[in-house]
Copies of this chain bind each other. A is one copy, B any other.
């Protein structure tokens, strides 16, 4: 009867119990200055009446929305969607809402949508940069208001920020090393936009591995694409395979291009992995679908999302806005499949 249409508020509870709304509020928040019996009574009634706090009112008053904003390039990419899935899980366990936004790998859209996220008073921001983004000034909006920012995977080239990512250098080193140990002598590298540290690091790890094993580093088979798409992958593969001195192995900075490489090579009658061993990066689901199955570097997407939330939460709980920037490095491992297994 009472709750015909209206939601229950602390005023309703207060009236019923003949106490003040302030007391109800404090009781529900376990404030120390409220008596035990009062707390019990309030909580009991709240449960009975199905009281649900109005988070809008609370957020307005406290200026904390208890919402995490996510800014990613494209939601519908295997890695990203798993990342988001991890974020959503962890956030909801911490009682936080998650609001998402896409940059479509476009800096302007990234900036615009960041404003929208800011306007909705998010408590913390988790970002994986747009491919294009080189300038990071549009994030000042958040740092100036001391809203925690956690960068994930595609992180900026700055030191004083919190980051959750993998050791791309090491992962790339290991992937390349794997190819070398399978007998490859001349390994090509398909990389992404070099201003994105993840791609730069993967290239550096690759180079380091070659040097470590005394192989020649040949720039003509190290190719970077701004968007390492399927089409680019095909184009690049065609390019390196038509060289006088084609590679006998390829380390691709993502699986999409690696799949293209496999498809193109198969079409040209190049035997995989005997004549050409291939390894990708991300361990997308397609790795197990393509024939031959694609070796890849496993990238813990869900865990990264969870770790990012963990960082954000701990930053929120710190009183000091002293920005104790942290850096979480997650483990990767090479998943060996038929595309690179020669022995």
A residues with CB within 8 A of B: 5, 52-57, 59-60, 65, 67, 74-78, 80-82, 84-85, 88-89, 92, 97-102, 113, 115-116, 118-121, 145, 259, 285-286, 289-291, 301-302
Q: How far is the CA of A65 from the CA of B52 in the complex (A)?
A: 16
The interface residues of chain B lying within 8 Å CB-to-CB of A76 are 78, 81-82, 84-85, 301-302
12 A-B pairs with CB atoms under 8 Å apart are A52-B115, A52-B119, A54-B60, A55-B120, A56-B56, A56-B60, A57-B60, A74-B85, A81-B81, A88-B102, A92-B113, A92-B116
The interface residues of chain B lying within 8 Å CB-to-CB of A118 are 52
The interface residues of chain B lying within 8 Å CB-to-CB of A301 are 76
The interface residues of chain B lying within 8 Å CB-to-CB of A102 are 85, 88-89
The interface residues of chain B lying within 8 Å CB-to-CB of A290 are 289-291
Q: How far is the CA of A259 from the CA of B120 in the complex (A)?
A: 42
The interface residues of chain B lying within 8 Å CB-to-CB of A53 are 119
The interface residues of chain B lying within 8 Å CB-to-CB of A67 are 99, 120
The interface residues of chain B lying within 8 Å CB-to-CB of A59 are 56
Q: Check if A121 sits within 8 Å of B286, measured CB to CB.
A: no
Given B65, B97, B289, B302, which contacts A259 in the complex, CB threshold below 8 Å?
B289
Q: Check if A85 sits within 8 Å of B75, measured CB to CB.
A: yes
The interface residues of chain B lying within 8 Å CB-to-CB of A57 are 60
Q: Check if A88 sits within 8 Å of B101, measured CB to CB.
A: yes
Given B81, B92, B101, which contacts A101 in the complex, CB threshold below 8 Å?
B92
Given B81, B84, B92, B289, which contacts A289 in the complex, CB threshold below 8 Å?
B289
CB distance from A213 to the nearest CB of B (A): 32
Q: Check if B56 sits within 8 Å of A121, measured CB to CB.
A: yes
Q: How far is the CA of A76 from the CA of B55 in the complex (A)?
A: 28
CB distance from A152 to the nearest CB of B (A): 15
